[in-house]
Amino acid sequence: MKAPVRFPVSDTLLSRLAYASIVANVAIVVTGGAVRLTDSGLGCPTWPRCTDESYTATPEMGVHGVIEFGNRLLAFAVGAIALAVVLAVLAHRPRRRRLLPLAVAVLLGIPAQAVIGGITVLTNLNPWVVGLHFLASMVVIAAAYALWRRTTDPDGPVVPVVPGPLRTLAGLTTAVSASVLVVGTWVTGSGPHAGDHGAARNGLDPEQISQVHADAVFLLIGLSVALVFAFRAVGAAGAARAALVLVGVELGQGVIGFVQYLTDLPALLVGAHMLGSCLVLLATLSVLWSTRERRPVEPAPQPAPTAGRVPAAV
């Protein structure tokens, strides 16, 4: 009897699916921003239905209903990609068990995000819940990035490529990068783009919280520049390149942030700033990942051949 034919999942296919998951999760952050920036946050005024009588947008809801419902549909596409990654991990041979928890975490993050999005609608776009919705997306993107990097790494032990103090500095930079994202949601919650004309604001002073955000950004850039020179000093070329890319992404994001602030937050620039936030996160994770490498698994030692003659059969 022939063994059942399995669908072959190559390393390349698995890595590409994991990368597609990153792209999809970044895309839904950008489209979610478009929902808010077009005042379509309550285009579907309830959840999980779009209206009390329909799960889909109706013609009477106009363009706002189409935009909000379209973003909800996109979540299914993102979930389908995450499910494909889980199935690819299960079908890959040899099985790499360390990939499965990350793949499942990304998959479960999609419905969790949908629930937070539903709470956002049911609370009439409470700015703190809106901020949580964005930050939850950042967590899912981080998990998707870790999964993608693990698909390209061997399964051997992790070996540092820079001294301990520089790994600590990279960890501190990552923490500051995360704090910039958090404070950024506070700035958004105090600004004019609430997602709906009647939505509440968080009550923080926009100028003061924007200054706090800018100070955190300056700190992040300073730490990132320090990483570039420190990595170069110890001969860690790959880590230095990753840190240099991070500085470039941060400077671009900073320019967008200042221009949007000085031009009264035009929607297009705010949307670009949201995309930039995702890129800053990914560049930061790239630096953190570059401080270590995973070596291939060493083959098991073979027993030495036994000396002497083979004993005769009894």
For 74-119, write each residue's pLDDT tens digit: 999 999 999 999 999 999 887 777 899 999 999 999 999 999 999 9
Q: Select the more confidently predicted residue: 195 or 171.
A: 171
The C-alpha angle 28, 30, 35, rounded to 5 degrees, equals 90
307 confidence band (pLDDT: 50, 70, 90): low
Q: Select the more confidently predicted residue: 230 or 299.
A: 230
Q: Which of 295, 259, 254, 261 is nearest to 277 (CA)?
A: 254
User: Which pLDDT does position 291 carry in this prediction?
Assistant: 96
User: Which pLDDT does position 2 carry in this prediction?
Assistant: 45
What's phi and psi for 37, nearest 5 deg? Answer: -75, -20
Q: Which contacts (CB < 8 Å, 24+ apart) does range 88-96 have?
A: 88/9, 88/13, 88/14, 88/17, 89/14, 91/6, 91/7, 91/9, 92/9, 92/11, 92/14, 93/6, 93/8, 93/9, 96/150, 96/155
Residue 286 has pLDDT above 90, yes or no: yes
Residue 301 has pLDDT above 90, yes or no: no
Mean local confidence (pLDDT), 4-30: 87
- State the sign of the Cα–Cα–Cα–Cα dihedral 101, 102, 105, 106: negative
User: Which pLDDT does position 300 carry in this prediction?
Assistant: 52
